[in-house]
Amino acid sequence: MAQHTADKKEHMEAGGKGQGPRSEQDSESNAEHVTHRKNKSKSGGSPPMKPSQIMEEHPEHNPADLGDSEVVHSSTKIEPAQNPRTRDGKVKQMESHIVALARGITELDNDRKRLQAQVRSARSGSWVTKSSRQIREELSSLEAAMRQWAENYSVAEIRALDSLSIEEKDAILERLDGYCAQVDWTTLIEKSPTMADKIPALLMQALLAKDIFGSIFANPFFAFGESKEPSTAHSSQTLSYLYASMLEVNKEEAHIWRSQTLRLLATPPPNSVHNAPLRAKVEAITSELAIEFLAGPVRLLFRHRNDSWAIQRNQELYQLYHTAGELAISLWTQRSFMRCYCMDELPVFRAEHPVMSAHALHRQHGNDAKLDGKNALIIVHPAIVAFGNEYAEHYDLCKVWAKGIIIVDEHA
């Protein structure tokens, strides 16, 4: 009996030591994000990685505490000695229970941390941190609204654009630099014969995506007219310059400063009837961006009906820009740092790549590799990749908030 008890305890300890560490993916219940681990520097971690490096999930070295093995052992019914085969089966079953227990403990600990952060945010009047699942859903809803708008208001057939000059058509593609691999209209149509009638809607969505994500999501201070990525190339009097300068000193502290600054500006003063100062700026800048977009090459793709039709189209576009602006601010108030990836980062398609997916028009199922290795033709929607977490930690880890949606050159 003593030998049997010792054997069971030995196997239980082996099971506890064999429990694998958990990745950042496990911190989000039922979330599917991609993580990548590097050696973290003292100044705040490695710079953002290109999508080609974001291939596999690498776990963090934070194994769950399995608790006191004696407690588990003492709660187990002691039975007479059994033959080795039966005993091994029970040991394996016990090991699986220990693994499940460890996962449960880690998930409860992550939930506890999140709840505590939310309670602190509620008490201070600041913004509550969003889960990655909620962010993905909101970004997915925005993409669906952009797609629907493009399909509703673009011409229904490619021949409807026959009246345009070749210079006008090429101007559309020139505006899509970084989102379309072709600058020649004739070549583009030749490379997509089976979806030619869908090209106007696809190009309109790509134009909209480039403008919204390039001018609103690219810079946390877009509401102040700073529409490019944070850089010391900005004027020294801008928030973008200040932020970029901080990032060179300490990434964690810089991201905390950016998050807290936007949270304060997005929160109305207590006992005030006035809106937060940042809200008014977001509404104003998104309206300006929508007006500029309507005046661009996208107008060449519009179907024409009547004035009321055009008014409805424009009103829906203003709402799209405003929704995008509010969402972008809510994401920039998080401690995570996000980047948008388009043609430069996603030039070649791979079905199993974690940051890209083929457009539904390709009718690709699962990890079908028929398009693998072929060039991207149009980026209909960029990939949104976030680095770090709500505790201003692990900026050498990343997670995919939205996959890039790609029209692939099937005839390459």
pLDDT at 260 over 90: yes
Q: Please say if the pLDDT value at position 342 is more than 90.
A: yes
pLDDT at position 228 is 80
Asked if pLDDT for residue 33 goes beyond 50, the answer is no
For residue 17, what pLDDT band results from cuts at 50, 70 and 90?
very low
- In the predicted model, what is the mean pLDDT of the chain? 78
Which of the residue ranges 44-53, 251-260, 279-288, 327-336 would you say has the lowest mean pLDDT?
44-53
Return the minimum-mean-pLDDT range out of 83-87, 204-208, 242-246, 371-375.
83-87
Q: Is the pLDDT reported for residue 139 higher than 50?
A: yes
96 burial level (CB within 10 Å; 0-12, 13-18, 19+): exposed
Write down the pLDDT at residue 24: 46
- The more confidently predicted of residues 51 and 218 is 218
Ranges 39-53, 64-78, 243-257: which has the least confidence: 64-78
pLDDT in tens, 210-221: 999 999 999 999
Q: Per mean pLDDT, which range of 2-11, 288-297, 361-370 is the poorest?
A: 2-11
Place 110 in a pLDDT band, splitting at 50, 70 and 90.
Answer: low
Residue 87 above 80 pLDDT? no
Min mean pLDDT across 222-231, 284-293, 331-340 is at: 222-231
Whether 365 has a pLDDT exceeding 50, the answer reads: yes
Residues 136-144: what's their mean pLDDT?
Answer: 98
- pLDDT score of 347: 94
Averaged pLDDT, 18-29: 40
Q: What is the mean pLDDT of residues 228-238?
A: 84
Q: Which residue has the higher pLDDT, 71 or 165?
A: 165
pLDDT band of residue 2 (cuts 50, 70, 90) is very low
Q: What is the pLDDT of residue 213?
A: 97
| Strand pairing category for 376-381 and 383-387 | unpaired
Within 10 A of 351 (CB to CB), how many other CB atoms are there? 17
Position 364 confidence tier, pLDDT thresholds 50, 70, 90: confident
Q: Which residue has the higher pLDDT, 32 or 183?
A: 183
- pLDDT bin (cut points 50, 70, 90) of residue 229 is confident
Residue 188's pLDDT is 93
pTM of model > 0.85? no
Tell me the average pLDDT across 345-369.
Answer: 90
Among 32-46, 92-106, 193-207, 227-241, which is the least confidently predicted range?
Answer: 32-46
Q: What is the mean pLDDT of residues 156-183?
A: 94
298-320 mean pLDDT:
95
